[in-house]
Structure 1
């Protein structure tokens, strides 16, 4: 099939690479200009560079809604558009233009975790599996019929970086498998159960800020979700920002006020956690590695030279 590809960052790069290695003919690529957004500088393999290496015309757009772009798409005469990690709204006259519409590839198990940063949100929320979904685009974001979907388990120590590597390897089989079904003439696919749908916003600095009212298990997953190269989860100690690089749920249960620097437990320093910490029934979060505001990384036991005081959301 004649394919126009919309994509950005490593997700788009992997999609284009899979298309180039397939029997399909990529006739035009549309991608975003490079961005200074913290999350868009991570996993930033260039779609434009890969397309140009293979002699494929490239258009750079923030939004695909101008007349020149529409004219170029019409001239390309695609059988299908394939999109992955396109960051802005694609208007109906664009996604409906090809004979088979537009196949969107999304790194979650739709209908859950539509929108942005699905792997990070899924890890924070304790999901047992994550995956990649290829669906036909319709008027609602990430809501069209599912053509192909594959899942991988979330391990007990997995970070968001681990999940990225697990799921990015699913892009090629999910995308090319879905195109194979469409090319073979299949037109009836799995409708999404919209009662199960969830939609998440882009992550920002505020989303990495630790709230000590959360249960320790949720905070431990937040730390793993904000693993390198993502911005680290952080709190404040004595008025200065303190990044939490590694932590575990404490073995003991600790009572008091959330955020209290309380007790050495093995190689960790336990922080009281949970909105109902006053009951004494909660596990704490045992910090094991931190980074100070001036960039020093050290064991939490070396940073906290005395117990007492509080970790806070703000300076």
Structure 2
């Protein structure tokens, strides 16, 4: 019998845990943060109810690399461990603790887009598709062998909120697809083509400032890329900060707030004023 463990502290991870059970699997172990950690983290959830329902032993620890976590993985004789929706980087000791390894997901079509801020960058770069990759973790950054991928199309109107939801759905779909092969111990891995790899850097809230001397098309794309659940695109006019959540390129209309660029007018459809 293949024994599977899971590490998460957010809704996306819990949705994947549910998908494992819906696909006929059963978790033998779960690990999450202490109850008082990351209480303000977006999407933070608690695993107690789910684990109680299915009789899953759950360990709460402040860090995935703590010795008690490593000991628990070995004690439960896990074959595979999933780490999904988790910001702490797993140590080599954690990666080596399960018999067959650790699996994770990344919201790009690896080896494209290794790194961070995958959803905003996919829109900012004007890609016509992105996706989610299930892969085996190694000591590199998103460099491990691939289990499977799902492509997600991106249109000229896709924003971060749309893409975030599609990425979450793809995580669950990948989990359901993978569980039968995982349980049959028939999981196939293929190495990434490292010659095609690209790395996307992390983004900061200040990277959302709109360049008023730039193109209206770049500004509109920025608004879509960093709208909710991200901090938003903004412009500072006469000392007032405007955070723009939705916008469209139109001809100027009297009485409507927007931003003028050399090549067009960006009408703000939804925005906040911060004084």
Give the TM-score category using the shorter length: 0.7 to 0.9
For the pair shown, which has the larger CA radius of gyration, 1 or 2?
A: 1
Greater RCO (Cα-Cα under 8 Å, separation 6 or more): 2
Deviates more, 1:212-221 or 1:139-148: 212-221
Q: Give the whole-Å Cα distance in 2 for the aligned partners of 1:120 and 1:269.
A: 22
- Supply the distance in 2 between the matched residues of 1:83 and 1:48 (Cα, whole angstroms): 17
Aligned to 1:291: 272
- 3-state SS in 2 of match to 1:180: helix
Query: Any conservation in 2 of the 1:8–1:32 contact (CA below 8 Å)?
Result: yes
Q: TM-score, normalised by structure 2?
A: 0.86
**RMSD value over aligned CA atoms?**
2.6
| Alignment match, 1:255 | none
1 CA distance for matches of 2:202 and 2:39? 14
The CA distance in 1 between the partners of 2:174 and 2:245, in whole Å, is 33
Cα deviation for residue 242 of structure 1 reads 1.1
CA distance in 1, matches of 2:187, 2:58: 30
Aligned length: 272
Aligned to 2:217: 217
| Counterpart Cα distance in 1 of 2:182 and 2:53 | 28
Tell me, yes or no, if the aligned pair for 1:130 and 1:167 is still in contact at 8 Å.
Answer: no
Q: Measured at CA, do residues 8 and 19 of structure 1 come closer, stay the same or move farther in structure 2, by a change above 3 Å?
A: same
Distance verdict in 2 for CA 1:7–1:54, change over 3 Å: same
Q: Contact between 2:20 and 2:179, CA under 8 Å: does it hold in 1?
A: no
- d(CA) in 1 for partners of 2:196, 2:39: 34
User: Which deviations, in whole Å up to 9, do the C-alpha atoms of 1:138-177 show, x marking residues without a partner?
Assistant: 1212111111101121132222111122221122231232
Matched, 1:233 2:244: no
Distance 1:118 1:61 in 2: 28
Q: What residue in structure 2 maps to residue 25 of structure 1?
A: 26
Q: Which runs of 5+ in 1 are unaligned?
A: 252-262, 295-315
Map of 1:305 onto structure 2: none
Tell which deviates more after alignment, 183-192 or 109-118: 183-192
Residue range with higher mean Cα deviation, 46-55 or 7-16: 46-55
For 2:108 and 2:232, how far apart are their aligned partners in 1? 22
- CA shift for structure 1 position 56: 2.1
Instruction: Say if 2:150 is the partner of 1:150.
Output: yes
Shift of the 180–96 alpha-carbon distance from structure 1 to 2, 3 Å rule, reads farther
Moved more, 120-129 or 76-85: 120-129
Aligned to 1:10: 11
User: In the aligned structure 2, how far is the partner of 1:192 from the partner of 1:155?
Assistant: 27
Structure 1 residues 154 and 35, CA, compared in 2 at 3 Å: closer, same or farther? same
Distance 1:119 1:62, change over 3 A: farther
Aligned counterparts of 2:85 and 2:56: Cα–Cα separation in 1: 19
Alpha-carbon distance between aligned partners in 2 of 1:4 and 1:145, rounded to the nearest angstrom: 19
Q: Which residue of 1 aligns with 2:161?
A: 161
| CA–CA separation in structure 1 for the residues paired with 2:86 and 2:225 | 22
**Deviation, structure 1 residue 75:** 0.5
Offset at residue 241 of structure 1 (A): 1.4
